Each structure stands twice: as structure tokens, then as C-alpha cells.
Amino acid sequence: MKVLYVALAAVALVTVRVALFRARRRRRATPPLDEPSEPSGPSQRSGLAPVFGALEHSLGDVGLVAGREIRERVRGRIFRVGTIIMLGGVAAAVVIPTLHKSSGPSIQTVGVVGGLASDTHQIVLIAGEANQDSVKFVTEDSVATAKADLRSDKVDMSVVDSSELLLEQPATASNSPADPGMVTDLAEYLGVLQAYRQAGLTAAQVKLVSGAKPVAIHVLVPNSKEATKAISIIGLVLLFFMLTQYCTWILIGVMQEKSSRVVEVLLAVVRPLQLLGGKVLGIGAVALGQATLIVGFALVLGASVGSDLLKGTAPLALLSELLWLVLGYAFYCWVYAAAGSTAERQDQVQTLALPLSLPMLFGYIYSVTVASTGHTSAFFKVLAYLPPTAPFCMSVLVGLSQVTWWEFVASVLITIVSTGGVALFAARIYRRAVLRTGGRVRLAELIGRPAR
């Protein structure tokens, strides 16, 4: 069944890829000359026309700029291939672990040589139940018959005189029909039963001892800890990858508009904040759409295959990471936009990108470490309240259930307020720097009197 799910996921991915490939070929095959009588604006050509129309109608110039960003980004090969790769990675992370799990109840046919006492019969059933196996008994006339039935796969294992187990080959062998878990348990139980008898226990005493119930077990961390840890790390990787990608888009996009002088044509019509706001909004919408698609895909696929990865607090951690993707993007995009407005060339962008990514990189690496070990520290908790590292650290704390709702809300509020301040500062830098040409603009030159 799980193989079927994997196959279906693979088919879905391939189908999406083929559809995209065909769509691109169709576009290329379209005659170059458009029909003049037919309105052919980008909003009308796109299947997302109502969305773009609403966006542009409600937000005016900001909506127009955002609409252009969305169209250009979604059309880009990097976005489409990246989305498919991420969906494939998520599918693999969700499905593959389930392939190694027991695949549910099975029937174990047990040959019996020399009959079974009632307590022994009961023990065989318990061993089967413990391993999700239902047991079917077959009476064997002799050991030779039992061996013959084992070889012909009529039985999976045989119990000889209630004191010995007989298998065709080791239970752990890949083609052994015997459930290795049941074989191990049954061997242990029969050994204990023999010990009871050798100790001289009466049947009633044996029954009492055999029926002993285990004491209660209390755990400090829910039993899905491993699953939550895994999903938390997967989420962190995606969060880091996506934040880096979208912020780099902003950085390069602003630089390219400046270097190609498109910004002059645009700012002759719209205000700098409208242009910047539209760009941030457009790329942010693409980011949110892609992340929602991936999280939704993970949740649906996980539920379909019964993945442990999405049990316990894992879905909460995923949703938290989705929220922190939005908040992290909102915080960082302004910083990257301001930085991009000071550069004119690709090499200048590369020089800027490294220092800008350091806080993100630090938060990411530290968070992955903590998510792996489960050991937090006071310093880590402080980082969960600082906007540059909160997207990573707070997500981990949620996954580990080490944060209360009000602490989470406090961190969100701090990030939102900080984002407002950063946006105002970045918009000021952007306005002053984006029209200045002739080399990279230093931050010190942008603080003070207007200089464009």
C-alpha cells in the first residue's frame, strides 16, 4: 500500500513537470504576432486573472507592481524546479520512514508437534498479538512432517513439545515467512514458562505470574518526540532555504531594476514606497503560496500514509514554521531591499549577501543543533525573542513543546513591531540610494540629508 502511495506521489510530480514542460513548449510555439483586436494584457492571459485583477484593483500601483513580480517569479524556471524538488524532498521525508514500519496484522501459521498445553497455547497467542499477528495452529504428526510443512511454506514456524521452535531459516532472513518479532517473543515466553515449571509452580501460580500486568510507564516527552524532531529539522531546512531564496530575489531584483535604469521609468510614475511595497508583497505572496503548498502537501501525504512524522506536536511545529516564514520574510525582505538599492552590479550583491545572511545562518545552524539534541539553553530561548533569529528558534521551541502560548505571541509581537521599524528605515535608505549611480553607495552616505 505504501509503495502505491510513493508511486502515486512520484507520478504526480512527474505529471506536474510534464505539464509545465508542455506549457512552456506551447508558449514557445505561439506565433510571435498577437492579435491586435483581442486584449492580451498579462492579467487576462493568465489563469490567475481574477486574483491579479483583485490585487491590482484593491491595491492600485502597489498591486500592479506585486502582480508583475508574481507573474515573473512563478514563470521562472528556478521557482518551478525548486518547488518540484522541495515537494519531492518532503514526499521522501514523509513516506520513506513509513516503508520501514510493520505493515499491519498478518497471519502466522504455527505447526504444533506433540500438542500444546493450554498455558502454552495462550502464550503463542500473546506472542502473536504483541506483534500484530493473528495465529493459526496446525497439528503436526511428527517433527518430520513439521519440517516438510516448513519447507513447503504450509506453516511459518513450528513448536515442538512446547519446548522448542523450528524454522526453515532464520526469521530475520529477507524471505523468511516467520515474523521475527513473534519468533523472538515466543522463544522468550516459552523459556520463561519452562523456568516456571522447573521452579515447581502450580498451574494456578503459573497463570498468576503469566497474567501479571506491566506497571504504568510515564514519559517526560510524548512518544512522537523523534517524529517531531525530524519534522522540525525538515521544516527548519525548508524555512532557511525559502527565506534565503526569497530575500535573495528581493536583493537581486532591486539591484537589477537599479542597474537597468528601469527604476527611473517606474519612479517617474509611482512613489518609491509603492514600488518597494509592491515588490515585497509580490515576492511574499509567491513565498507564502509555495510554503502553503509544501506544508499542505506534507500534511495530506502524511495523513494518507499514516506517517509518524505528522503525529504529536509535529503539525503544530509545521504550522508554526509557516507562520515564521511569513514573519521572517517580512523582517528580512526590507533589509535585503535596502541593501540591494545600494548596489549596481552582481559582484556588489555577492559582497552584500554574505553579511546579510549571517544572522539567518547562525539562527538556522543553532536551531538545527537544538532540534537534534532536544537540549535548549537560556541563550537559545533569548534568541527566540530576537527578530533575526526568532523564525528558527521559536519554531524549534514549539516543536519541543517548550514554549507557552503567551511566550509565542510575545515573540510574534516583538517581530512585528521590529519589522515596522526596519521597514521605515529600509524605505528611507531605498529612496535615497536606488537612484544614485556610479558605484556602490555607502550606508554612511545615506544617513543625513537627501542625496539623490
Partner 1 sequence: MTSLMGGVLQLQGLRRAYGPVVALDDLTFDVPSGQVVGFLGPNGAGKTTTMRAVFGLTDLDAGTVLWNGAPVRQAERRRFGYMPEERGLYPGMLVGEQIEYVGRLHGLSVSQAAQATTTWLERLEIADRRRSKVETLSHGNQQRVQLAAALLHDPELLVLDEPLSGLDPTGIDAIGQVLVDQARSGCCVLFSSHQLDLVEDLCDRVTIIDHGRLVASDTVDALATSGPRRLVVRIEGDRTADWARPLAGVTVSEVVGGAVRLVLDPSIDSDEVLRAAMAAGRLTEFTFARRRLSEVFREALA
Work out whether 211 is an interface residue with partner 1 (CB under 8 A). no
- DSSP state letter for 438: S
Minimum Å gap between C-beta 424 and partner 1 is 19
What backbone phi and psi angles, to 5 degrees, belong to 108?
Answer: -110, 120
CB count in 10 Å sphere of residue 317: 27
Examine residue 54 and tell whether it contacts partner 1 (CB under 8 A): no
Minimum gap (Å) between residue 82 Cβ and partner 1: 17
Tally the C-alpha atoms within 13 A of residue 243's C-alpha that lie toward its C-beta: 33
Q: How far is residue 136 CA from its own chain's centroid?
A: 42
| 195 near partner 1 (CB under 8 A) | no
- The residue from 267, 316, 386, 410 that contacts partner 1 (CB under 8 A) is 267
- The reply to whether 119 sits near partner 1 by the rule CB under 8 A is no
Give 39 or 421: the residue with its C-beta nearer to partner 1. 39
Q: Which is nearer to partner 1, 38 or 141 (CB)?
A: 38
Among 2, 17, 68, 147, the residue binding partner 1 under the rule CB under 8 A is: 68
**Cα Rg, the chain, nearest whole Å:** 32
Q: How far is the CB of 445 from partner 1 (least distance, A)?
A: 11
* Minimum CB distance to partner 1, residue 49 (Å): 9
Hey, what's the torsion of the CAs at 321, 326, 330, 336, to 10 degrees?
Answer: 70
Name the burial class of residue 362, with classes exposed (0-12), middle (13-18) and buried (19+) by CB atoms within 10 angstroms of its CB: middle
User: Min. distance of Cβ 242 from partner 1 in angstroms?
Assistant: 22
Cell numbers 509611482 correspond to 270
The 72-91 contact track toward partner 1, x by CB under 8 A, reads x-------------------
Q: How many residues does the chain have?
A: 452
Contact pick of 260, 346, 369, 372 for partner 1 (by CB under 8 A): 260
The residue among 41 and 211 lying less far from partner 1, judged by its C-beta, is 41
| Span interacting with partner 1, options 162-170, 252-260, 378-386, 388-396, rule CB under 8 A | 252-260
Q: Can you tell me the distance from the alpha carbon of 189 to that of 112, in angstroms, rounded to the nearest whole number? A: 16
Nearer to partner 1, 136 or 452 (CB): 452
The set of cell numbers assigned to 442 is 555607502
The rounded distance, in Å, linking the Cα atoms of 104 and 10 is 24
| Residue 445 in contact with partner 1, rule: CB under 8 A | no
Closer of 138 and 267 to partner 1 (Cβ) = 267
Instruction: Choose the binding region for partner 1 from 32-40, 79-87, 121-129, 308-316 (rule: CB under 8 A).
Output: 32-40
- If one asks whether residue 439 binds partner 1 (CB under 8 A), the answer comes out as no
Tell me the C-alpha distance between 201 and 78, whole Å: 73
137 vs 156: CA distance, rounded Å: 10
CA distances from 407 to 143, 231, 332 (A): 68, 22, 22
Question: Which of 388, 341, 339 lies closest to 362, judged by CA?
Answer: 388
Q: Which residue from 42, 50, 420, 439 is in contact with partner 1, where contact means CB under 8 A? A: 42
Residue 155 carries which DSSP code? -
Q: Decide whether 43 or 106 has the Cβ nearer to partner 1.
A: 43
441 binds partner 1 (CB under 8 A): no
Which residues are CB-neighbours of 342 under 8 A, at least 6 positions away? Answer: 348, 352, 429, 433, 440, 441, 442, 443, 446
442 binds partner 1, rule: CB under 8 A: no
Q: Which of 6, 9, 55, 64 binds partner 1 (CB under 8 A)?
A: 64
How far apart (Å, rounded) are the C-alpha atoms in residues 339 and 326?
20
How many residues sit close enough to partner 1 to count as binding (CB under 8 A)?
36
Interface with partner 1 (CB under 8 A): 30, 32-34, 36, 38-44, 56, 61, 64-65, 68, 72, 256-257, 260-271, 435, 450-452
